[in-house]
Amino acid sequence: MSPRSASVNEELRRRSKERLLQAAVELVGERGYEATTLGDIADRAGSARGLVSYYFPGKRQLVQSAVHRLMHRTLEEALEREPRASEGCERLARAIDAILGLARDRPVLMRQHMAGLLQAEVGFVPCPEQRRLAELLRDTMARHGSQDVDRDYPMLRAQLMGAVFAALVPGVPMPVPELRAELFEHYRLDWKLGVPPDAEAPGGTTCDPDLSRFFETGAPEQPDRTARLDRTDPAGETDPADRTDPAAQSK
């Protein structure tokens, strides 16, 4: 069999990484962070376990990137849904509702994400997924009329993180509608903007258990062959024993 081209190898690597991100979001949302191992994630993704450490330094970084992907794609979907919102107040309302909606609809996942950000050994890890989320929120503030985005974007981020945290505190969670009301009052937004709690959610804003639209795993034309090729290392060489890394089984 002739060697695969560089473009084919690159596409296989991209799909493998996307599947790992999706698997991480699904499993942590189902089981929690501690009950999910890197081996579990690799198995759900259908990838060789040794590949996980090639893409991510550890489980916390993988999960953080995966949740940031879910966040930025959820936000992007809310901002761009029809009818398109060019007016700044509507876009900011949609942004607030999208992030609060994740806390409401995916509490296990978002609680684990917030806890991870507070871990001193890892903390906040910048990644391409987080940068895209930041770009969307910065653009939202600019369209809302901010005269100093460098000041106002971090404040919006802090307020959203604080609201998510307040909604997820075990035992004493604050109701999402109350948190929404506080944020809407702060930014002088009409309650009817975005997706009010008592309104019917438009398409793309409900808690859809199928997250595949947020992860570009592709649809292989030859499933059997692709499944076999997925069990390769990043250089495209066959991984005869899956090169199972003991660290990949760790928590």
Tokens of 45: 């993704």
Alpha helical stretches, state H, the chain: 6-31, 38-45, 52-55, 59-80, 88-105, 107-117, 128-143, 149-168, 176-186, 223-230
Task: Give Cβ neighbours of residue 219 (< 8 Å, ≥ 6 apart).
Answer: none
Cis peptide bond N-terminal to 175, omega within 30:
no
Instruction: Give the span between the Cα atoms of 168 and 66, in whole angstroms.
Output: 19
Whole-prediction pTM: 0.80
Task: Give Cβ neighbours of residue 241 (< 8 Å, ≥ 6 apart).
Answer: none
3-state per-residue secondary structure call for 103-158: HHHCHHHHHHHHHHHCCCCCCCCCCHHHHHHHHHHHHHHHHCCCCCHHHHHHHHHH
What's the pLDDT score for residue 207? 64
- Reduced to 3 states (helix: H, G, I; strand: E, B; else coil), residue 232 is strand
Q: What is the CA radius of gyration of the chain?
A: 20
Q: Which residues of the chain have pLDDT under 70?
A: 1-2, 120, 200-207, 218-251
What's the pLDDT score for residue 166? 97
What's the pLDDT score for residue 121? 73
Write out pLDDT tens, residues 52-71: 888 998 899 999 999 999 99
